[in-house]
């Protein structure tokens, strides 16, 4: 990100792209050395390149931090997650390794969601 913004350090953060703002938020959060990183739809409004940047950063950080991320994207969960919790209307329906929950779910509601019968 430094290469992208080094000539605009006096500009307000609101002048950054949405993807740059997301990465700045992540950097600010990391500056306080948290134990857990919470990401609530961290790529929902981003273009594919910015989303990829955030996902790559999370993949890099997950060896050092516990990352809890909310996403509605099954493909994103498959790329990033080690463990998945599927919730439906605030209820935990199923949880386990990503390969089990997203490829071979045990619960009917999970199957319906993962395979696109409900949303």
pLDDT digits (tens, 9 = 90+) for 84-114: 999 999 999 999 999 999 999 999 999 999 9
Burial of 24 (0-12, 13-18, 19+ CB in 10 A): middle
**Global pTM?**
0.78
Q: Does pLDDT of 2 surpass 80?
A: no
* Residue 16 and residue 28 in contact, taking contact as beta carbons nearer than 8 Å: no
Q: Does pLDDT of 6 surpass 80?
A: no
The pLDDT score that the predictor gives to residue 48 is 92
Neighbours of 52 (CB within 10 A): 14
Q: Which residue has the higher pLDDT, 37 or 15?
A: 37
CA distance from start to end of the chain: 35
Contacts 24+ apart (CB under 8 A), 75-80: 76/43, 76/51, 77/102, 78/102, 79/55, 80/55
pLDDT digit string, tens, across residues 42-101: 898 888 998 998 899 999 999 999 999 999 898 999 999 999 999 999 999 999 999 999
């Amino acid at each position: 990100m430094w290469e992208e913004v080094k000539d605009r350090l006096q500009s307000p953060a609101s002048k950054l792209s949405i993807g740059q703002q997301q990465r700045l938020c992540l950097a600010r959060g990391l500056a306080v050395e948290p134990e857990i990183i919470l990401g609530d739809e961290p790529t929902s409004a981003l273009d594919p390149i910015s989303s990829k940047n955030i996902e790559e950063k999370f993949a890099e950080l997950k060896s050092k931090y516990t990352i809890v991320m909310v996403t509605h994207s099954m493909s994103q969960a498959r790329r990033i997650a080690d463990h998945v919790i599927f919730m439906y209307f605030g209820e935990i329906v199923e949880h386990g390794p990503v390969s089990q929950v997203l490829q071979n779910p045990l619960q009917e509601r999970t199957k319906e969601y993962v395979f696109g019968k409900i949303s």
